[in-house]
Chain A
C-alpha cells in the first residue's frame, strides 16, 4: 500500500516538475533579477551601476508620482467595477439559456478576441472620430456639442479598457453561474424572499469564486495598462505602464523602470495575498 502511494507520488512529481521548472526559469528568475535591479543605482548613460541604493523607491513616492499611482489605481478600479456590472447579468442570463443559445452567445463573445488587440483599439479611434458617425448621432440627439472631443480623455481609456477586458469578467462568472442550481432561487422565493433578495443572498454568494476570479482577471491587466492610455488617452491619462516605458526608453534609467515594475507587482500581489491569507485564516478558525 505504501509502495503504491510512493509510485503515485513519483508520477505526480514527474508531471509537475516540467511546468514548475519552466515557471522558475522563465518567470521567477527574471522577476528576481528585475527586483534586484530596482535597488541598483543608474548612470546617466543607461548603465546599471554596482552598489545598492533605496533612492529609486524614495523617488517613486514623491507627490508627482503619487498622482500617477493613484490615477492607475482608480482607473483600474472603476474599469473593474463597470466590467463586473455588465458581466454579472450577462453571465446570469447566459447560464439560464438553452445549450444552443449559450454556445452562440459564447462564440459571439470570444470571436472578436481573435482579432488583434491593437487593431481593436484602432477601431475605437475610428468609432470615436470627431467626424465619425457616432459623433454625428450624438450631436443630432443633443447629447454632446459640436466641440466635444470623445477621444484623448481619461473616460475614453476607461471605455476601451472595459471593452477589452469585459470577456475576462463574463467568462468566469458564466462558468460559476453554470454550476449554480437555479431551483434554489425559486426555493428562496417560495420561502418569502424577494427577487432581489434571492439574487443577492443566494445567487451572489454561490458564484463568489467566479466573481473573485473575474475581479482579478480584469484588475491585474488594467493596473499594467500601457497601450490603451498611450493610444486613446489624453494628456492626463498616463498610467504606471507608460511611466515604465518612459524610464526605460527615454530616461535610460533601467533601475527606475525596475522599481516601478516592482511597485506594480506589489500592487497586484498585495490584494491577492490578502484574499488568500483571509481564506487560510477563516479555514483555520473553522477548525
Chain B
C-alpha cells in the first residue's frame, strides 16, 4: 500500500520535474496541424537558437479557435487557414507582423496571399498552399475526366465521394456552374443546391479522412481530396492519380500568425524567418507535400514533386481561396443541412 502511494506521488510530480529542467531554455509554443512540419527542421531550430519547441495539434480551425477563445493557452505561433486568420485578426487575437524581423519574406511570392483576405501579408504569411481535386485509382478508372460534373457521372454510381465540408462541397458545385465559391447570392446558391441534390443521388457518401482508406481499399473509385493527401498516398500506392477539374478549384492557404498574448515574439519571428530560409523551406515542402510559395526554395526542389504541388497559371486564375463570409455563413449551413436532409 505504501509502495503504491509512493508510486502515485512520483507519477504526479514527474511532469513538474521536467518543467523545472527545461526552465533554463526558452520555449517556443506552436499550435499546428499534425504532420505539418518536418521534424528535422524542428530539431535544427532548437539547436540553432538554443531553445525548445513544444508543439500542440488541432484537427480543425474551429476547434483551435474555440480553445483560444476560452482562455490564453500561451502559444507563440499558430498555423490556421487564411479565413480563420482573418477572423482572428478581426477579433484582435493576433498581431500585425513586423516584416523587418522576417527578412526572408522577400522570397515569398505574393500571388497566393493576394487571393486571401490579407493580400499584403499584414498579419499572416503563407505557410502551405493546397488544391482540392479528384483522387482516383489509375489502374481501375484510367479515364477520369477533369470536371466537377464527375460527381453526377453514372459510371461511378455509389463509388464516388465528396468532402463532408460544406464550403468545399458546395464550392465544387458553384465552380461547376461558373460562380464564385464565396458567393452569397441567393439565386446562385439555389442553383448550386439543386445540382448538389442531383449529385447526391449518385454519391456513396460525404467523407473526409475515411475516403482515403476507402479509395485505397477499392471501395470508392473517385474521391474529392487535397493534393497533399494524394501525394502522401502515392508513396504507398503509386497507382493513385490526382486531377484538378478544369472549371477551377479551391485553394487552401495555411498561414503563420503570432497570437497577441505570445510571450516569445522574438523567437516566433526567428522561427518564421527560419522556415522561409530556402533550404529549410524546400526540405519542409518535401516532407509535408504542400507548396510553400517561396521562389528560391522552389528552385531547390525535386522536380518530380514540384510538378505535383503546383498548378498551371490557367487553373490558378480560375481558382479561389475560400473566404470567411461572416454572417452569410448561415446560408451555407442551412443549405448544407437541406441537401443532407433531402
Residues of A within 8 A of B (CB): 44-47, 64-65, 67-68, 122, 125-126, 129-131, 147, 149, 151-152, 230-231, 233-235, 238, 243, 246-254
Q: Find the residue from A44, A67, A125, A129 having the highest chain B CB count within 10 A.
A: A44
Pick from B219, B336, B341: contact of A65, CB under 8 Å: B341
A147: nearest residue on chain B (CB-CB)? B157
Cβ of B87: which chain A residues have Cβ within 8 Å of it? 45
A231 and B219 alpha carbons, distance in the complex (Å): 13
Indicate if B39 sits at the interface (CB-CB under 8 A): no
Cβ of B158: which chain A residues have Cβ within 8 Å of it? 149, 152, 234
Which of chain B's residues 299-342 have a Cβ closer than 8 Å to chain A?
326-330, 333-334, 336-338, 340-341
A64 and B219 alpha carbons, distance in the complex (Å): 30
Q: List 27 A-B contacts (CB under 8 A).
A: A44-B330, A45-B87, A46-B69, A64-B338, A64-B341, A65-B341, A125-B214, A125-B217, A126-B217, A129-B219, A131-B219, A151-B204, A230-B164, A234-B158, A234-B204, A235-B201, A235-B203, A235-B205, A235-B340, A246-B166, A247-B333, A248-B62, A249-B62, A249-B63, A250-B62, A251-B330, A252-B65
Nearest-neighbour CB distance to chain B for A144, whole angstroms, equals: 13
Indicate if B139 sits at the interface (CB-CB under 8 A): no
Nearest-neighbour CB distance to chain A for B335, whole angstroms, equals: 10
Cβ of A68: which chain B residues have Cβ within 8 Å of it? 337, 340-341
A247 and B164 alpha carbons, distance in the complex (Å): 13
Residues of B within 8 A of A (CB): 60, 62-63, 65-66, 69, 87, 90-91, 157-159, 164-166, 200-201, 203-207, 210, 213-214, 217-219, 326-330, 333-334, 336-338, 340-341
Q: Find the residue from A131, A152, A231 having the highest chain B CB count within 10 A.
A: A152
Quick check: A246 and B219 within 8 Å, CB to CB? no
Quick check: B219 and A130 within 8 Å, CB to CB? yes
Pick from B63, B90, B200, B217: contact of A235, CB under 8 Å: B200
Quick check: A246 and B205 within 8 Å, CB to CB? no
A158 and B181 alpha carbons, distance in the complex (Å): 36
Quick check: A152 and B90 within 8 Å, CB to CB? no
A130: nearest residue on chain B (CB-CB)? B219
Cβ of B326: which chain A residues have Cβ within 8 Å of it? 44-45
Cβ of B341: which chain A residues have Cβ within 8 Å of it? 64-65, 67-68, 238
Quick check: B218 and A44 within 8 Å, CB to CB? no
Q: Find the residue from B90, B201, B217 having the highest chain A CB count within 10 A.
A: B217
